[in-house]
Structure 1
Amino acid sequence: MTAAAESGAAGWTSHHSDEATRDEQMRRLAGELLEATETLEPVAPLRDRVLDMTLDDAYAIQTHQLDRHLADGRVLAGRKVGLTSPAMQRQLGVDSPDFGFFFEDMVHHDGARLPAGAFIAPKVEPEFGFVLQKTLRGPGVTLEQARAAIGAVYPAIEIIDSRVANWDIRLVDTVADNASCGAIAVGTTPLDVAVDRLAGVSCSLLIDGEVRETGTGDAVMGDPVAPLAWLANVLGEQGVALEAGQLVLPGSFTKALPVVSGESATADFGDLGSLTIDFT
């Protein structure tokens, strides 16, 4: 082998080794977050522990967790899009949405009583819940195709939670932490509203019956269906489809509010319906 070839081979080996080492680091951090989910002992911010951490790194950490859960037999129920409203983006200092996943055992319904102690530092967000009647496979999914894929629209609340200590998160931290998803509550009766009218729907977030936040559907990327199309296209680039029957939460109408034991949270869509859950 010539000197140049030896040098090239050494360079490739070093580069390959660096990639392998970084992947091992992502797997280790995924393991930390999985453990934090079980023990409710949060971890230090990930952005401080990975050199030049990228969004790709963060999604790799998230995917390692998804793969582990699926291998353990948990059943994927759907996906959530986060950071879609100006209020939530301001809260985290970002300008782009993110996404995560949830399983069937994380989905609750109207009137559910959830132990606050099952979370680290829970917050609630009022949202729509889209049940898909058609599979969406990106890239190239249009807004019209996304609308046509929605079979029903339900009132929903996402309980977000952070496995990162003190909610000290930036975009890469929350993405790695499954977009801070804790649990989902979804109504049992669909909202009687046309999919092309969702941007004009208003929703209030009540804590113990008191209106604390109010927003309209156009706060969610201008049209709540836009995050669904965005998600289908982002996942499509990874060879993943949004399957018919899955539930998708497109993002919050308002900023998130913390909840503690003894409080109730309501997503009130006025005449269209509402959803209430209690924290015990």
Structure 2
Amino acid sequence: MRAAVTATASAAARLTAARAQRLPCAPVRDLLGANDINAAYAVQSVLNEARIAAGARVVGAKIGLTAAAVQRQFGVYRPDFGVLFDDMIYAHAQPVPLDSLLQPRAEGELAFVLGRDIDHPGASVADVLRATDFVLPAIEIVDSRIEGWDLAITDTVADNASSGAVVLGTTPHSLRDRDLVSIKMRLSRNGAQVSSGAGSACLGSPVAAVAWLARELVRRGQFLRAGDVVMSGALGPMVPVTGSCSFRLQLEGMAEVEAVIA
């Protein structure tokens, strides 16, 4: 038990220093093991509690590693989740400071905004559809404190699922009669297309991804709350952020959203 506590504290300290010093660190799997996901979530919890104590407010959650293309990029073949804080959220075209990020990459996603809690085990896609108030097109700027994105599942989980920033569109869309399995995604950087995909890339459907998250949170003694913003996961490959640039996301049948990295 003492060894586990020491490993958790050491991993948290390493990631905290990387964030504070803005210098990527070595992977933490040497401390936690490559597959002990519970140990990694314990580190994530320590880091999240420190951010809350410093004044950050939890506004939702993000699901990572949902698209097969992203899983292949890192050799990690299971989804994970992290926490969204208020200081991570930006609006369409609102500049995201490049110097707040270390090794950023961009993904095209769909954000679910919940109108009611999902707090029971065995949550289904029907529960997610009933609980969702509206969805927004969104660009996630994922980031890693781990040098060179050298990740095992424990590295990314401990690092809050490699979270950075989220840029939300400002036009809400109802899920009624909307096919999220077949919806097409196109992500452009400085006007040139760099990624494409579809809703089916996200655990079969973004709705299925949010249902997975709801079940996983309840299993861990947590739950999704009314008002939460839930990033459902990438609809295609993530792409590097190359200095100051802009990304534009087009989701079929929805308003566009632009992320400006300044």
Aligned partner of 2:42 in structure 1 is: 60
1:268 aligns with 2:250: yes
**Partners in 1 of 2:26 and 2:211 — Cα distance?**
33
The counterpart of 2:232, out of the listed 250, 253, 256, is 250
Corresponding residue of 1:230: 212
Scaled by the length of structure 2, what TM-score is found? Answer: 0.95
1: CA distance, partners of 2:177 / 2:10: 42
- 49-58 or 31-40, larger mean C-alpha shift: 49-58
Matches within 5 A, 1:170-249: 170-191=152-173, 193-194=175-176, 197-249=179-231
Gap regions ≥5 residues in structure 1: 1-18
- The answer to whether structure 1 residue 46 and structure 2 residue 6 are counterparts is no
- Give the whole-Å Cα distance in 2 for the aligned partners of 1:261 and 1:52: 31
Count of residues paired in the alignment: 262
Measured against aligned partners, the alpha-carbon deviations of 1:70-124 in whole angstroms (never above 9, x if no partner) come to: 2222110110001111111111112210000111111001001122222111000
Q: Is the 8 A contact 2:248 2:257 kept in 1?
A: yes
Pairs within 5 Å for 1:1-280: 19-51=1-33, 54-191=36-173, 193-194=175-176, 197-280=179-262
User: Structure 1 residue 194: deviation in Å?
Assistant: 2.9
CA RMSD in angstroms comes to: 1.5
Larger radius of gyration: 1
- Greater fraction helix: 1
Alpha-carbon distance between aligned partners in 2 of 1:176 and 1:29, rounded to the nearest angstrom: 8
Q: Distance in 1 between matches of 2:7 and 2:213?
A: 27
Match of 1:6 in 2: none
Whichever residue aligns with residue 252 of structure 1, its letter is: A
Q: For 2:29 and 2:58, how far apart are their aligned partners in 1?
A: 27
Question: How far apart, CA to CA, are the structure 2 residues paired with 1:52 and 1:98?
Answer: 14
Question: 1:52 deviation in Å?
Answer: 6.3
Q: Which runs of 5 or more structure 2 residues have no equivalent in the other structure?
A: none
Q: Structure 1 CA distance, aligned partners of 2:156 and 2:196?
A: 24
